[in-house]
């Protein structure tokens, strides 16, 4: 039989709409005669209401409370306190205002009364987290616990819906972690389950009815009960991770809770199945059916809350260091936490993966570990890094989506057909990479990062090495039908100096959107050429205005596009590959301004700086050419890195 110790909270609680009217009596009850009123950023009309209700007891105010209780702010507030000889602290606001009251109380021993306006629950704990020089240190003391808490439901009506959702999930996290805490007991279990039930009922309706006093009452009572849990028993992995994410990366407190909770529940589910069942019951039929972790994920996402760390602005590169930090010191949690398992969990949270239903996904970290270990002897470091990263991501893809045999087979079949479709004049793998945006991603990493340089673009599948060499002024369309185009091109370095002697390959589609390699009846290469820039870095050529065209859609990539409801069209463009003497090739494309599909290019290749005017002209054409009717002119200066 489990043994436990339980100490009830001595805090006095006054709850109800309009409860602020009792604040003066409650201050006097604490022996206060001169109140310092503390608040943080905008909290609706709450501060005004407290001011009015305090009347002559209000002696001074400090409105600078901030997230994570910075020590400098506390010192500033203490100066105001000393100056006005206040003898009672009253805080109105979220966890930030409460934190400041706690920080002053522990320094001065003054009584504190808190009026919470969020669901953070800090008012129910004897715990204080303070930040000094960017480091958050936590301490506990009986004097940190507020003596009186007035929950005025009216104060929560102005809490924006997004914040209401995240803050309520913050409370939900206190309740969930209390249930599997080592110090769990029947009192906290009861409070936790009651809190979960109230949140599950109220949260889905709050977006549509933010002014519904009944819903707000449920959420605030849940926040109080969950806060009592937080103040009574120890928390686990969820709080550790949120602390690490908030502390190292400054991610927003309540939003981080909303993303992390379902992922931690999924991680712990197998270790505490009976507790997950109790949570399922508390969640009720709407959310419980999916299992506890997925139910909480659905609750958050349907209420419009964030579900991924990515949308909170976290960078993928930060996952591993945070995971290491969270696993560095042991702490109580139903399932052991290692740097690898924390990293896997954070990866799922970063992507916002919905936890699988009630079923347990087997833990395959041992298998991933074995494969990764087998690569340890790879002689080339970069190869080892790349193959290891690929294995890790493939394994987590398989587990994350619980890939079935049939799906695995379909995937292998797709890749096999992609390979079989490749030929001398068709590169289906490049096309696959293009439509998945991978080519553009690689291009973005490889391209120049200086704002002065022209942006690069993907190579595409139609480039042929060694195109026909032509002299400036030549016609690359060699008489093909289409609107004549005169291209006047200059190549400069980043300082604006001309780049003479650069080799410039040009290739494009015909007026029907086909490249020469797609037209077997065509004799020899056409609409492709290699020029060399003159002493001023210039070259010019005649061609025709390129048309939009569909990428080859008769193969596996076409099937993929059809299966995902996407069109295969590329916005009209000209390709360029510019190689300065002794330098590396610079690859880009120029898009026809006003052309179709600029906003939905099938290979994600359009960059705004590469969309240029192909100006319509009439009258005498350059280079002595007689043009009957309209022709277009393209003038463009490429700025490239010469090195």
The nearer residue to ligand NAD, 128 or 294, going by C-beta atoms, is 128
Angle between the 237-249 and 339-351 helix axes, to the nearest 10 degrees?
Answer: 70
310 CB burial (10 A radius; 0-12, 13-18, 19+):
middle
The nearer residue to ligand NAD, 163 or 387, going by C-beta atoms, is 163
- In sequence order, the 6+-apart residues with CB closer than 8 A to the CB of 180 are 236, 268, 271, 272, 275, 334
Residue from 120, 235, 237, 275 touching ligand NAD (CB under 6 A): that is 120
The distance of closest approach from Cβ of residue 353 to ligand NAD in the complex, given in angstroms and rounded to an integer, is 25
Gap between the Cα atoms of 337 and 218, Å rounded: 34
User: Candidates 157-165, 346-354, 519-527, 603-611 — which segment interacts with ligand NAD by CB under 6 A?
Assistant: 157-165
Rg (C-alpha) for the chain, rounded Å, is: 33
Query: Does the footprint of ligand NAD cover residue 256 (CB under 6 A)?
Result: no
| Other beta carbons within 10 Å of 214 | 12
Residue 43 · residue 117 · CB < 8 Å: yes
The distance of closest approach from Cβ of residue 28 to ligand NAD in the complex, given in angstroms and rounded to an integer, is 26
Residues in contact with ligand NAD, shown as a per-residue x/- string from 170 to 209 under the rule CB under 6 A: ----------------------------------------
Query: Does the footprint of ligand NAD cover residue 94 (CB under 6 A)?
Result: yes
Gap between the Cα atoms of 443 and 588, Å rounded: 10
341 CB burial (10 A radius; 0-12, 13-18, 19+):
middle
The nearer residue to ligand NAD, 86 or 124, going by C-beta atoms, is 124
Residue from 19, 20, 36, 43 touching ligand NAD (CB under 6 A): that is 43
The nearer residue to ligand NAD, 167 or 456, going by C-beta atoms, is 167
**3-state secondary structure (DSSP) of residue 277:** helix
Residue from 158, 308, 483, 511 touching ligand NAD (CB under 6 A): that is 158
Query: Does the footprint of ligand NAD cover residue 100 (CB under 6 A)?
Result: no
Residue from 32, 70, 99, 236 touching ligand NAD (CB under 6 A): that is 99
Q: List the one residue out of 513, 576, 579 whose CA is nearest residue 544.
A: 513
Residues making up the chain, counted from first to last: 643
**Residue corresponding to tokens 């808490």:** 149
The distance of closest approach from Cβ of residue 397 to ligand NAD in the complex, given in angstroms and rounded to an integer, is 34
Gap between the Cα atoms of 301 and 199, Å rounded: 14
The distance of closest approach from Cβ of residue 246 to ligand NAD in the complex, given in angstroms and rounded to an integer, is 7
Gap between the Cα atoms of 622 and 486, Å rounded: 8
Q: Is 513 left (phi over 0), alpha (psi -120 to 50) or beta?
A: left
User: Candidates 88-96, 197-205, 372-380, 458-466 — which segment interacts with ligand NAD by CB under 6 A?
Assistant: 88-96
Applying the rule CB under 6 A, the residues between 215 and 254 that interact with ligand NAD are 230, 253-254
User: Candidates 91-99, 268-276, 410-418, 621-629 — which segment interacts with ligand NAD by CB under 6 A?
Assistant: 91-99
Residue nearest to ligand NAD (CB): 95
- The angle subtended at Cα 46 by Cα 68 and Cα 175, nearest 5°, is 50
The distance of closest approach from Cβ of residue 228 to ligand NAD in the complex, given in angstroms and rounded to an integer, is 11
Residue from 46, 77, 179, 237 touching ligand NAD (CB under 6 A): that is 46
| Other beta carbons within 10 Å of 6 | 11
Applying the rule CB under 6 A, the residues between 57 and 86 that interact with ligand NAD are 67-68
The distance of closest approach from Cβ of residue 87 to ligand NAD in the complex, given in angstroms and rounded to an integer, is 24
Residue from 59, 74, 122, 365 touching ligand NAD (CB under 6 A): that is 122
Task: Write out the two tokens for 346.
Answer: 């954070």
Query: Does the footprint of ligand NAD cover residue 41 (CB under 6 A)?
Result: yes
The distance of closest approach from Cβ of residue 44 to ligand NAD in the complex, given in angstroms and rounded to an integer, is 4
Q: What stretches of 459-574 show up as alpha helix (H) in DSSP?
A: 556-563
The distance of closest approach from Cβ of residue 315 to ligand NAD in the complex, given in angstroms and rounded to an integer, is 22
Gap between the Cα atoms of 84 and 414, Å rounded: 75
Residue from 127, 161, 320, 522 touching ligand NAD (CB under 6 A): that is 127
Strand partners, 149: 13, 114
**Structural element, H or E, at residue 396:** helix 381-400
The distance of closest approach from Cβ of residue 129 to ligand NAD in the complex, given in angstroms and rounded to an integer, is 5
Residue 544 · residue 480 · CB < 8 Å: yes
Residue 634 · residue 498 · CB < 8 Å: no
Residue from 73, 101, 159, 203 touching ligand NAD (CB under 6 A): that is 159
The nearer residue to ligand NAD, 240 or 392, going by C-beta atoms, is 240
The nearer residue to ligand NAD, 93 or 568, going by C-beta atoms, is 93
Question: What share of residues in the chain are helix, strand, coil (percent, to 5)?
Answer: 45, 15, 40
User: Candidates 151-159, 185-193, 327-335, 385-393 — which segment interacts with ligand NAD by CB under 6 A?
Assistant: 151-159
Which 8-state DSSP code applies to residue 314? -
Please give the size of the binding site for ligand NAD, defined by CB under 6 A: 32
Query: Does the footprint of ligand NAD cover residue 118 (CB under 6 A)?
Result: yes
Query: Does the footprint of ligand NAD cover residue 117 (CB under 6 A)?
Result: yes
Query: Does the footprint of ligand NAD cover residue 164 (CB under 6 A)?
Result: no
The distance of closest approach from Cβ of residue 94 to ligand NAD in the complex, given in angstroms and rounded to an integer, is 2
Gap between the Cα atoms of 447 and 433, Å rounded: 17
Q: List the one residue out of 173, 166, 147 whose CA is nearest residue 230.
A: 173
Alpha-carbon separation of residue 112 from 92, 261, 328, 596 (angstroms): 11, 31, 36, 65
User: Candidates 159-167, 462-470, 575-583, 626-634 — which segment interacts with ligand NAD by CB under 6 A?
Assistant: 159-167
Gap between the Cα atoms of 610 and 607, Å rounded: 5
Gap between the Cα atoms of 102 and 121, Å rounded: 13
The nearer residue to ligand NAD, 146 or 555, going by C-beta atoms, is 146
Query: Does the footprint of ligand NAD cover residue 129 (CB under 6 A)?
Result: yes
The distance of closest approach from Cβ of residue 157 to ligand NAD in the complex, given in angstroms and rounded to an integer, is 7
The distance of closest approach from Cβ of residue 69 to ligand NAD in the complex, given in angstroms and rounded to an integer, is 6
Q: Which residues bind ligand NAD (CB under 6 A)?
A: 40-44, 46, 67-68, 93-97, 99, 117-118, 120-122, 125, 127-129, 155-156, 158-159, 163, 167, 230, 253-254
């Amino acid at each position: 039989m489990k043994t436990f110790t339980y100490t009830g909270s001595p805090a006095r609680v006054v709850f109800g709409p309009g409860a602020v009217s009792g604040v003066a009596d409650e201050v006097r009850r604490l022996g206060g005669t001169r109140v310092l009123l503390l608040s943080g950023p905008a909290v609706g009309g709450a501060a005004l209401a407290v001011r009015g209700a305090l009347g002559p007891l209000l002696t001074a105010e400090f409105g600078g409370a901030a997230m994570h209780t910075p020590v400098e702010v506390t010192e500033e507030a203490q100066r105001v306190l000393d100056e006005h000889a206040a003898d009672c602290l009253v805080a109105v606001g979220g966890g930030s205002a409460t934190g400041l009251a706690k920080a002053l109380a522990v320094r001065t021993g003054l009584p504190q009364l808190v009026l919470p306006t969020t669901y953070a629950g800090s008012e129910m704990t004897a715990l204080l987290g303070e930040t000094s020089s960017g480091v958050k240190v936590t301490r506990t003391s009986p004097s940190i616990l507020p003596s009186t808490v007035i929950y005025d439901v009216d104060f929560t009506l102005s809490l924006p819906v997004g914040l209401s959702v995240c803050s309520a999930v913050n409370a939900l996290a206190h309740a969930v972690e209390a249930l599997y805490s080592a110090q769990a007991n029947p009192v906290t279990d009861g409070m936790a389950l009651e809190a979960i039930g109230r949140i599950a009922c109220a949260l889905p309706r709050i977006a549509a009815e933010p002014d519904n006093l009944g819903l707000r009452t449920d959420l605030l009572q849940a926040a109080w009960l969950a806060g009592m849990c937080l103040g009574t028993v120890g928390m686990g992995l969820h709080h550790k991770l949120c602390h690490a994410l908030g502390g190292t990366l400054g991610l927003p407190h309540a939003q981080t809770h909303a993303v992390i909770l379902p992922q931690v529940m999924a991680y712990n589910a197998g270790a505490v199945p009976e507790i997950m069942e109790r949570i399922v019951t508390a969640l009720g039929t709407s959310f419980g059916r999916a299992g506890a972790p997925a139910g909480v994920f659905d609750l958050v996402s349907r209420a419009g809350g964030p579900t991924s760390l990515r949308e909170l602005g976290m960078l993928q590169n930060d996952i591993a260091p945070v995971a290491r930090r969270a696993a560095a010191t042991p702490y109580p949690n139903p399932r052991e936490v290692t740097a690898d398992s924390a990293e896997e969990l954070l990866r799922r949270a970063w992507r916002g993966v919905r936890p699988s239903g009630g079923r347990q996904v087997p833990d395959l970290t041992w298998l991933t570990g074995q494969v990764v270990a087998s690569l340890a002897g790879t002689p080339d470091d970069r190869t080892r890094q790349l193959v290891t990263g690929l294995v890790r991501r493939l394994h987590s893809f398989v587990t994350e989506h619980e890939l079935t045999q049939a799906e695995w087979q379909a995937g292998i079949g797709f890749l096999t057909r992609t390979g079989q479709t490749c030929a001398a004049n068709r590169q289906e793998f490049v096309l696959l990479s293009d439509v998945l945006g991978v080519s553009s991603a690689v291009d973005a990493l490889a391209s120049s990062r200086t704002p002065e340089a022209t942006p690069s673009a993907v190579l595409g599948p139609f480039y042929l090495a060694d195109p026909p060499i032509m002299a400036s002024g030549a016609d690359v369309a060699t008489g093909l039908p289409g609107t004549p185009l005169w291209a006047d091109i200059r190549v400069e370095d980043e300082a604006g100096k001309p780049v003479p002697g650069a080799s410039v390959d040009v290739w494009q589609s015909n007026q029907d959107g086909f490249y020469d390699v797609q037209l077997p009846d065509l004799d020899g290469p056409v609409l492709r050429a290699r020029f060399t820039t003159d002493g001023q870095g210039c070259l010019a050529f005649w061609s025709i205005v390129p048309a939009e065209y569909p990428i080859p859609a008769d193969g596996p990539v076409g099937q993929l596009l059809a299966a995902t409801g996407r069109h295969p069209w590329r916005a009209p463009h000209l390709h360029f590959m510019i190689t300065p003497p002794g330098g590396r090739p610079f690859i880009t494309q120029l898009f026809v301004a006003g052309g179709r599909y600029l906003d939905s290019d099938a290979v994600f290749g359009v960059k705004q700086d590469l969309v240029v005017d192909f100006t319509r002209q009439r009258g005498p054409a350059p280079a002595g050419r007689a043009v009957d009717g309209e022709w277009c002119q393209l003038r463009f200066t490429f700025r490239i890195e010469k090195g």
